[in-house]
Structure 1
Amino acid sequence: MRRTENAEFTVLCLIEDGSRVLLQDRVKADWKGYTLPGGHVENGESFVDAVIREMKEETGLDIYEPKLVGVKQFPIEGGRYIVMLYKATKFSGEVVSSDEGRMEWVEYSRLSEINTVDDFEELLEVMNSDNLSEFRYIIEDGEWKAIIG
């Protein structure tokens, strides 16, 4: 049995400002709706450097001391897609939107009123929990199944 596999690495970041979270109204057809900003880790780039770079590119903000708060993963052809989940509460700069989508501060209390991506609630549950660290999908009997742990 082969012990290695292909992996695609990405990052997402939950930027909080008190009771507000910065969300991106994502325009791409795959994973459409309000979600957290993020992107791909480039070859040779550290995960922390990737999340700092991606937040600057997609939000205009410089984030400081991002904290790794979980991992999301799911199978892809020939391997898996791995998303390193970060949280940042220290930042500077002015919010700008990108061609990925419009950025908007949203109160946690309003999240149920907006059109978020399909697994947003589970994603936040993992990222805001002291007891959870992984959100993964498996394919069982041809069906996608979400597992939080």
Structure 2
Amino acid sequence: MAEIEKVIFMNMCMVYDHAGRVLALDKVGKSYSGTTFPGGHVEPGETFTESVIREIYEETGLTISNPKLTGIYHWMTGAVRNVGFLYKTDEYQGELISSEEGKVYWISGEEFLRKPLAPGMEQVWQMMHDDSASECLQTLTKNGIVSKIQ
């Protein structure tokens, strides 16, 4: 009989404009901090798309439309598999407002990559920009974190 894993579902969205800017979040938290894209946990009863729309609104004040699924990012924390669905969209409306999650602001892609990024954001960035990379599994080994991107 196969072992059953506990799974936690999350999401993240790269909101971008046509001037080469992305919406960045300087995340503040005990377990996860650094520059990242907004996102969060899927709540019971939500579709994954509903969840990412809600999370982006809660963390940025923007209402996004038509988020496109671009990849899956997952890793183990003990016996729990954390699965993050990665989206991107250039369709949004509203006024940008920071939240308790951290400061949100527009920044060029080049500047974003020079920021102190949250763990795994290099791989997330790659999947957002490379149509051939749609999944990343990160594994903690005795030699550090190993990323398998496919």
TM-score scaled to structure 1, two decimals?
Answer: 0.92
Q: Superposed, which structure 2 residues align to 1:89-128 within 5 Å?
A: 89-128=90-129
Give ranges in structure 1 of 5+ residues lacking alignment.
none
Cross-structure match for 1:9: 9
Deviations 1:66-121 (A, max 9, x none): 00000000012333000000001100001100000000101112124322223222
The offset of 1:29, in angstroms, is 3.0
Say which SS state the counterpart of residue 130 (structure 2) adopts: coil
Amino acid in the other structure paired with 1:11? N
Q: Does 2:25 correspond to 1:24?
A: yes
Amino acid in the other structure paired with 1:37? P
The offset of 1:145, in angstroms, is 1.4
Identity %: 35
Say which SS state the counterpart of residue 100 (structure 2) adopts: coil
Following the alignment from structure 2 to structure 1, what is the Cα–Cα distance between the partners of residues 80 and 120? 21
Cross-structure match for 2:37: 36
What is the count of residue pairs matched by the alignment? Answer: 149
Following the alignment from structure 1 to structure 2, what is the Cα–Cα distance between the partners of residues 40 and 118? 17
Give ranges in structure 2 of 5+ residues lacking alignment.
none
Following the alignment from structure 2 to structure 1, what is the Cα–Cα distance between the partners of residues 111 and 33? 18
Following the alignment from structure 2 to structure 1, what is the Cα–Cα distance between the partners of residues 5 and 114? 40
User: Relative to 1, partners in 2 of residues 1:140 and 1:34: Cα closer, same or farther, differing over 3 Å?
Assistant: closer
Following the alignment from structure 2 to structure 1, what is the Cα–Cα distance between the partners of residues 108 and 143? 37
